[in-house]
Chains A and B, each alone.
Chain A
Amino acid sequence: MSDPQQQQMIQDAMKAIAQRRPGRTKLVYDKTKRTIVAVAEGAQSARALNITADDADMFAVVTLSSRWLSDRWPLISRDRAIPIRLSSWDDGDALTQYDLGVQPSPADIEGTVILGEGASPPDGIQLSIVRTDDVRAADPSRFVAPNGEVHRALAWRHVNGHGTQIDVAFVDVQPALATRRAGILETTVLSDKTVLFIGLGTGGAHAAIELAKCGVGHFILIDRDRLSVGNVVRHPGGVSQVGRFKVNVVRDLIREKNPDAEVSIHPVELNYQNRDAIMELVAKADVVICGTDNRPSKLLINRLCIEANVIAVYGGAFRRAYGGQVLRVRPKQSSCHECFVAAMPDEASDVEISSTSDAADVAYSDRPVAVEPGLSLDVLPIANMLAKLALLELLADKKTTLNVLNRDFDAPWYLWLNRPEPGTQYASLPPLSESSDEMTINRWYGVYFERDSDCPVCGNFISTMAASYGLDLASLENLPSPPRKKD
């Protein structure tokens, strides 16, 4: 359509329909031109088109932070115009203030915010902030300046001197996100909480993002791995993130869900050489989530969490994710990971082989072990449970709707089965539809076992062992020095 006036009329009519306001222009189908045309009210028209609000919601939209504009109000009041950088998505259909989010857009463009109508710029995006009292409170283009004056924002995209109107939406990110959580959680109840994540594979990464959605305010992320192509079918990070450290990928995903979250990242290996550095991070956490499938790292984290008196939640899938498990450790109150290993060695050793390094750890010799990762949808129940148990611990000293769950989640260990895997003790489980009281797939089972009072980590292992051998710890002889080497 070449007639700019006709085009503007159609746009006004569509906008009025989209905003559910009666317009002064009707849209009709012109058979001779074989196109839609706008007809002024009262004019004779062949046939009006039945266009609904959904059909009409086709305008591009520019989204910006009202806090951002408020912060710059003195500047724009003085200079009458300020620059704005916008992320451009979907060929310019969505324009988002560049620093509103974390993920980069395929392209970004510069625009100008002006106070008042202003003159049309040659080309580009222009947002006009116009003083008015004729704007509904729910109108997303409404902006209230710090001095209390109400404004409406109008935006145009100018190309070759011709302007096309764009919708404007102001957002207050954090209050808007908090409102969605408010049904269950107090808006700021988790903003002062810190969660340390050890291992950001599929389970750890999903749990981190879930807790970000819940409003956890502080995250510490430890993982030395980079995202590989093979990870993408399960990990929340996508193909465009391949090669990045997982801590960076997950930090960005967390901030996409909770822009105010503080995230500290540590792409380091977890071992006894950096024990002290890891201990410093553990001591800062309210809860530690351990998502590694590697026994030595779990034992190290277990030791540090017991020493620092920090609650830890361990999660992992069984081989090929036929099921999974979650262990919650409340230091000196419930079984620790070492107690678990002693009580249930087979379960503690049943891990998913989801990478070549996992395979190497399990194979330990020259006999290869196949990499057999499970499906993401079979890992996610475990990730959700990790996040859920961590959430309950974070809320332990708060009054929330979720406190009622404390009676349901009082076991130290939880078992989940995705399928009756052949070759396991669960191979002959009854069908889900036929069982009312027997163990089945797709259900969490809380399993109780006692803390080992003689545990080497959380118990009295040394004194008990000494007593069992009739030895008195106080009278043990000093260890000898190494014998001199023979010449």
Chain B
Amino acid sequence: MWTTEQRQRLGLENAILQREGFDQFTVYWDKQNDTYYASGVTPSNSGRNYGLHISIPSGFPDERPSMYVTEPFPLLLANGNRVSSLGTSHDMHTLAPSSNGLVQLCHWRPARWHSGIRLQQVFLKGIIWIEAYEQHLATGRPLAEFVSTMAERA
């Protein structure tokens, strides 16, 4: 059951996305199941479209949301294997994939997440990951070489 504060926060998160140039992403409310998620399709610098999906957990914003790449599907490595086959990977900044094989991106690790982080920042990390992923496709080198683990500041 969502609290009034959580619903208000999610409404505000959506408004910030729309106002701050992230309007390719939207926070949705599934009234029937009373669940929330945020998603959208964003183009990379090369013009390729990527779908990003953030599942909003019941403990949001204290609980860290998970972010997945929904398209292209399946998402492939430079060697042709599925990214999801790596599971949790430091080299590719990925966490355990979803049950249906979507790649989960590591944006903030659980031990670093806190309630002050906004969905806009999470999507921003997703966009950065996409650019690094395309560098991986172009060079075959690990994604981590293009996007290092970020310094932790609130």
Chain A residues near B (Cβ < 8 Å): 271-273, 275, 294-296, 299-300, 302-303, 338, 341-343, 345-346, 349, 351, 361-362, 364-367, 455-457, 461-462, 465-466, 469-471, 473, 476-483
B122 in contact (CB, < 8 A):
no
In the complex, what distance in Å separates the CA atom of A482 from the CA atom of B9? Answer: 18
Contact of A345 among B11, B19, B87, B152 (CB under 8 A): B152
A349 touches B114 (CB 8 A): no
A361 to chain B minimum Cβ distance, whole angstroms, is: 5
A470 (CB) vs chain B CBs: closest residue: B19
A272 touches B63 (CB 8 A): yes
Contact of A481 among B29, B59, B152 (CB under 8 A): B29
B57 touches A272 (CB 8 A): yes
B27 in contact (CB, < 8 A):
yes
Contact of A469 among B20, B61, B63, B87 (CB under 8 A): B20
A/B interface sample: 14 pairs, CB < 8 A: A272-B58, A272-B59, A341-B114, A342-B116, A349-B111, A349-B112, A361-B111, A367-B90, A462-B9, A462-B12, A465-B118, A478-B11, A480-B28, A482-B28
| Total A-B Cβ pairs within 8 A | 128
B110 touches A364 (CB 8 A): yes
Question: Which residues in chain B, 1-16, are within 8 Å of chain A measured between CB atoms?
Answer: 5, 8-12, 14-16
B146 in contact (CB, < 8 A):
no
Contact string against A for B residues 59-91, beta-carbon threshold 8 Å, 1 for contact and 0 otherwise? 101111000000000000000000000111110
In addition to A296-B63, A364-B111, A481-B30, 8 A-B residue pairs with Cβ atoms within 8 Å of each other are A272-B57, A364-B109, A366-B90, A462-B5, A462-B8, A462-B12, A471-B16, A479-B36
A302 (CB) vs chain B CBs: closest residue: B62
A41 to chain B minimum Cβ distance, whole angstroms, is: 78
B31 touches A476 (CB 8 A): no
A342 touches B106 (CB 8 A): no
In the complex, what distance in Å separates the CA atom of A366 from the CA atom of B59? Answer: 26
Interface size on B, residues (CB 8 A): 46
B115 proximity list for chain A (CB < 8 A): 299, 303, 338, 456-457, 461
B60 to chain A minimum Cβ distance, whole angstroms, is: 9
Contact of B110 among A343, A361, A455 (CB under 8 A): A361
Contact of A476 among B15, B29, B37, B106 (CB under 8 A): B15
Known contacts being A300-B59, A303-B62, A366-B90, is A342 close to B30, with CB within 8 Å? no
A477 proximity list for chain B (CB < 8 A): 11, 14-15
Known contacts being A272-B59, A273-B58, A482-B30, is A471 close to B19, with CB within 8 Å? yes
Question: Which residues in chain B, 91-129, are within 8 Å of chain A measured between CB atoms?
Answer: 93, 95, 106, 109-116, 118
B111 touches A295 (CB 8 A): yes
Can you list the 5 inter-chain pairs with the closest CB atoms, starting with the nearest?
A272-B59, A456-B115, A365-B90, A342-B154, A479-B29
In the complex, what distance in Å separates the CA atom of A362 from the CA atom of B11? Answer: 32
Chain B residues near A (Cβ < 8 Å): 5, 8-12, 14-16, 19-20, 26-31, 36-37, 57-59, 61-64, 86-90, 93, 95, 106, 109-116, 118, 152-154
Contact of A295 among B14, B15, B95, B113 (CB under 8 A): B113
A295 proximity list for chain B (CB < 8 A): 110-114
A337 (CB) vs chain B CBs: closest residue: B114
In the complex, what distance in Å separates the CA atom of A361 from the CA atom of B95? Answer: 12
B5 proximity list for chain A (CB < 8 A): 462
A472 (CB) vs chain B CBs: closest residue: B15
B57 to chain A minimum Cβ distance, whole angstroms, is: 7
B15 to chain A minimum Cβ distance, whole angstroms, is: 5
A342 (CB) vs chain B CBs: closest residue: B154
B16 touches A296 (CB 8 A): no
B116 touches A338 (CB 8 A): yes
A299 to chain B minimum Cβ distance, whole angstroms, is: 4
B154 proximity list for chain A (CB < 8 A): 341-343, 345
B9 proximity list for chain A (CB < 8 A): 462
Known contacts being A300-B62, A473-B8, is A480 close to B29, with CB within 8 Å? yes
Known contacts being A462-B9, A476-B11, A480-B26, is A469 close to B62, with CB within 8 Å? no
A471 touches B12 (CB 8 A): yes
A399 to chain B minimum Cβ distance, whole angstroms, is: 38
B31 proximity list for chain A (CB < 8 A): 481
B110 touches A275 (CB 8 A): no
Contact of A465 among B12, B88, B90 (CB under 8 A): B12
B27 touches A479 (CB 8 A): yes
Known contacts being A342-B154, A367-B90, A481-B29, is A299 close to B62, with CB within 8 Å? yes
A345 touches B153 (CB 8 A): yes
Known contacts being A462-B5, A481-B30, is A469 close to B113, with CB within 8 Å? no
A365 touches B106 (CB 8 A): yes
In the complex, what distance in Å separates the CA atom of A345 from the CA atom of B116? Answer: 12
B11 proximity list for chain A (CB < 8 A): 473, 476-479
Known contacts being A349-B152, A366-B88, A479-B28, is A461 close to B116, with CB within 8 Å? yes
